[in-house]
Structure 1
Amino acid sequence: MEKAFKIRNASEKDFRKVGKLMVKSYSQLEGFPKQSEQPEYYKMLANIGELTKKPETELLVAVSDEGKIGGAVVYFSDMQYYGSGGTATLEQNASGFRLLAVDSQLRGIGIGKLLTTECIEKAREKGHQQVIIHTTISMHIAWKMYEGLGFKRSKDLDFMQEKLQVFGFRMLL
């Protein structure tokens, strides 16, 4: 079923839909801070298209043949624009991605993996030596996918987002 989705850059017409998908996905994660606890984070998710104004930043979407957006991720080919806490923004010769979200009704069919591998390919095309990502304990289901693709835990990239522990992963290319 993975083949039924194609990856492309989001258009401005997609931004609101993707923002709603992001807010819904993150608010449904067990143990993840709620909108009332981290309103600025959810505001950023709702306005996800704004991130594309940063240089070297792309909002990628997985779109079905029928035009349904099944998932999205933000890819950064220059880590200084990555926007996380910790030391990730200082990484050189690296790409990163953040804010991976898949429609809850479409989980488990490979959309997250498709978006992740697209980001890895973009990093390879740039000639980068590594890909940096962050995740939380609430997103532990994705950890297996990341590790299966070759990402390794990198404690040097860990940080706290308010009261939320954020874990760094790195893939060497």
Structure 2
Amino acid sequence: MVQVYSQLDGFPKPEEQPAYYQLLANIGDFTQKPGAELLVAVSEQNELAGGVVFFHDMQHYGSGGTATQEKDAAGFRLLAVAPDARGKGVGKLLTLACIQKANDVGRAQVIIHSTKAMQTAWAMYEKLGFERAQELDFMQGALPVFGFRLSLKHA
């Protein structure tokens, strides 16, 4: 996670946001929150290809802004794909796994956040049905963070 995020053009560097990078370095700590899971993708060579943190309930999501007040919503944060695994569908696979988990627990929506440095992922999210949700935007220090919402259909 630290490697991936620190190499993003336009994303704050570790010395600019040390607390955020401490969070990335200790990503497993999120699993101590109720309903939080760390999902990983592993290559055929048994190497870590990517990871994401899924939250069954937004109240434990831990972001700025109003997202943690969203009801009947799941979310995911900190999606990262290893540099040598990019372009192989790992990010999409992890995103689809999170959407499936949200469906499995009957949530009405999935909430995520992204930054301008991650705009490559925005197209993927939008193809999967996520829509920009400006009401979920917030500032992380000097960094604008943008909200997205996917409405799920339940019978």
Normalising to structure 2: TM-score of the pair?
Answer: 0.97
1:87 pairs, out of 66, 79, 86, with: 66
Q: Distance in 1 between matches of 2:111 and 2:98?
A: 10
CA distances 1:64-100 after superposition (whole Å, capped 9, x unpaired): 2332110000000011110000000000101000000
User: Aligned with 1:61: secondary structure?
Assistant: strand
Among 108, 116, 120, which residue is 1:141 paired with? 120
Q: Secondary structure at the match of 1:95?
A: strand
d(CA) in 1 for partners of 2:44, 2:114: 29
Q: Match of 1:158? A: 137
Structure 1 segments, 4+ long, off by >2 Å, are none
> In structure 2, the residue corresponding to 1:116 is in which secondary structure?
helix
Q: TM-score, normalised by structure 1?
A: 0.87
What percentage of aligned pairs have identical amino acids?
62
1:96 corresponding residue in structure 2: 75
What CA distance in whole angstroms lies between the structure 2 residues aligned with 1:52 and 1:100? 15
Helix, strand or coil at the partner of 1:121: helix
| Corresponding residue for residue 37 of structure 1 | 16
Unpaired runs of 5+ residues, structure 1, are: 1-21
What value does the CA root-mean-square deviation take over the aligned residues?
A: 0.5
How many residue pairs get aligned? The number is 152
Structure with more helix by fraction: 1
Provide the C-alpha distance between the structure 1 equivalents of 2:85 and 2:107, rounded to a whole number of angstroms: 31
5+ residue gaps, structure 2: none
